[in-house]
Amino acid sequence: MLLHRSLRRALPLALAAATLLTPALPAGTASAAAGTAWYLDCSAAADGSGSQASPWNSLASANAHLFQPGDQLLLKRGATCTGTLQPQSSGTAGAPITLAGYGTGTARPVVAGDPASSQNAAVRLYNVEQWEIRDLEITFRDTAAAKRERNGLLVEIADLPSGVGTHYLVDDVYVHDINGDATKWSNGIQFRVSGTATPTNFDDVTVQNSQIAHVDREGLTNRSTWMCRPSYGTGDGCGTTNNWRASTRLVFRGNTVQDTGGDGIVVRAADHALVEHNTAFDLAMRPMGSNAGIWTINSDSTTIQYNEVHHVRRLSDNNDGMAFDSDYGNNGALFQYNYSHDNQGGFMLFCGACGAGSSSTGTVVRNNLSRADQSRWLFAVGEKNARMYNNTVYLPAGSTTPIVQQGSGTSTTALSGNLFYNLGSGGYTGFGTSAYKPGDFSWDANAFWGAHPANEPTDARKVTADPQLANPGGADPADYRLGAVSPARGAGAVVPANGGRDYFGAPVPQACRPDIGFQQASAFDDATCSAPDPVRNGGFEAGTLAPWTYYGGVQLDTANAHSGTAAVRVGPAQAAAEQIISVQPGTSYRLTGWGRVSAAGTELSLGAKEYDTAGSSNRAAFTTTAWSQGSAVFTTGPTATTARIYCYARSGSGYGWCDDVTVTKV
């Protein structure tokens, strides 16, 4: 695992080095810019004035002080303060308040929650902002049989007049032995938005280089009372309320989470959150409901990358236990460059339909390695438009793990360029009373080696020869590199906007066919592979809809083609087949194709969208039952590299057909 760990640790180490370049304020000094250093030594015999020579000796003294921007609250290394540290006041931009340690030696200052108190956290920041916390040890032990909400570090904002709490940095903090209850209010570290009067969110939150161990229930999370929107359905009692307000610039980086009763890392109600370079293992160790390793829910554009998750348990009281989860209410979640292994519940969960009335769309899972995960590789319980490509999957001999296990709901998913090295017996199954629905999945240019179950997917370009991995079964990601003459080289599917690199950081082609799996081993020259028409399978002659994705009633129709042997049928409204194509910025294109409808009153659209930042679209409309040709011209934005083309049953109760779809430069 050395190569993967070097990728995971490179960024946190660089940040740590940068931190060392800015030493803490020397003891006993103060300036208008830097503020004043205040000292707390809970081992001191008497309470002092807060100077280094006469430190405070109780949390009560520190909690009573009104700190100023740029101040530091420094706790004595090796000393333990019992109770709840809840300092007052906020810093300002460029002059945050710092909470850290002082003194010699390597021991951290300790804040230990008092189990006899009514407090719900050992360290609590409430309705303050512009704080930086470093180098603390936080614990909240309670041996009582009856548990209640407990947190190590709780940062909470509620009904802020400004609506935004900004700039919180948690760096190199050790949180352990938080004996909370089984609710998701108990955490090692949590950023919480509460209140119901003023819409409020966090902005600029970073938790990095920290360790969270032996906590109940969750490790590192955020949450909000401002989380209701239609895609979230009735989750958390939302009903028809629509008050979703996302936290922004949320980063969880370079942390280790181990031995939790429930989840490892969770992102909730966030926009463009980043979870990277974390290690999470020995999770869901105690019966506390359904839990997963690292997951996101009710959020937009969450990126989860360069993480290692292993040994998540799937206990008898739940159906989860997987490494990663795109849960309900998500839009555009991205899981890439992760290493998952030995998780009892599997690799990936799509749970868009897990909540009543909920949905998720646009999840992308690419360039990940899954080794010896159990129960199923993908547990599909609802997704409107997912893509899973260039992942490598290893299942050892004796494994019964299905590649796909499907629960309730529709899980529209396009799978291409994935490498399945399956030495076990698992295939494609339903879960409980739900059946596996092969029509929810499209397959293109995947590799299947080892077991070939009877319902192995139809894939016109699949590879079934030995991919010749370096050392299949090994524990290092490098063991799953392709051999020099592997048939998986150059046999994958071109995917627009593919991230630009493989698991190991090597570039991947944009026009040439890539290698199958999480590694790009082959050399390539995109200039020699560029095609004038970026539409793939525009005539629907590949025997499959891939790489088109779809929602609603969509199928390949071999009885009603305009030319060749097949066309795509969509409908009744609303239903669509869509494809992301590669384009050049600032360029005009003409989309052309043939269309017809089954009955008067039905309208079919063939169009393009998402080709500029203004959200423009253009389309040709078809309303007659005879085939006719239509076209639409669109001009890409100055930074656009992709566009989305679609065949859409827009209105009416009939069907529509599209065929011979092309895109050319004007």
Residue 430 lies in a domain: no
Could you give the CA distance from residue 43 to residue 31 in angstroms, rounded to a whole number?
A: 28
Could you give the CA distance from residue 244 to residue 226 in angstroms, rounded to a whole number?
A: 5
Q: How far is CA 351 from CA 187, 492, 642, in A?
A: 23, 27, 27
Could you give the CA distance from residue 175 to residue 178 in angstroms, rounded to a whole number?
A: 8
In the predicted model, residues of the chain with pLDDT beneath 70 are 1-33, 531
Res 34: pLDDT: 80
Residue 179 lies in a domain: no
Residue 52 lies in a domain: no
**Residue 410's closest CA among 354, 466, 337, 490?**
354
Residue 633 lies in a domain: yes
Could you give the CA distance from residue 391 to residue 379 in angstroms, rounded to a whole number?
A: 15
Residue 601 lies in a domain: yes
Residue 317 lies in a domain: no
Structural domain tally of the chain? 1
Res 531: pLDDT: 65
What tokens were used for 166?
Answer: 């900004």
**DSSP letter at 563?**
S
**Residue 426's closest CA among 447, 456, 446?**
456
Residue 598 lies in a domain: yes
Q: Is the separation of the CB atoms in 70 and 55 below 8 Å?
A: no
**DSSP letter at 83?**
S
Strand partners, 390: none
Q: Is the separation of the CB atoms in 489 and 520 below 8 Å?
A: no
Strand partners, 169: 132, 206
Q: What global pTM score does this model have?
A: 0.84
Could you give the CA distance from residue 84 to residue 473 in angstroms, rounded to a whole number?
A: 48
Q: Residues 55-69, buried b or exposed e (16+ Cβ, 10 A)?
A: bbbbbebbeebebbb
**Residue 492's closest CA among 446, 528, 523?**
446
**For residue 604, what are the domain limits?**
549-665
Distance of CA 244 to the CA centre of its chain: 19
Residue 505 lies in a domain: no
Could you give the CA distance from residue 212 to residue 140 in angstroms, rounded to a whole number?
A: 12
**Residue 295's closest CA among 259, 260, 258, 320?**
320
Strand partners, 101: 75
For 456-470, give the DSSP string.
Answer: PPP-TT-B-S---BS
The 3-state DSSP class for residue 636 equals coil
Which CATH number goes with the domain that contains 627?
Answer: 2.60.120.260
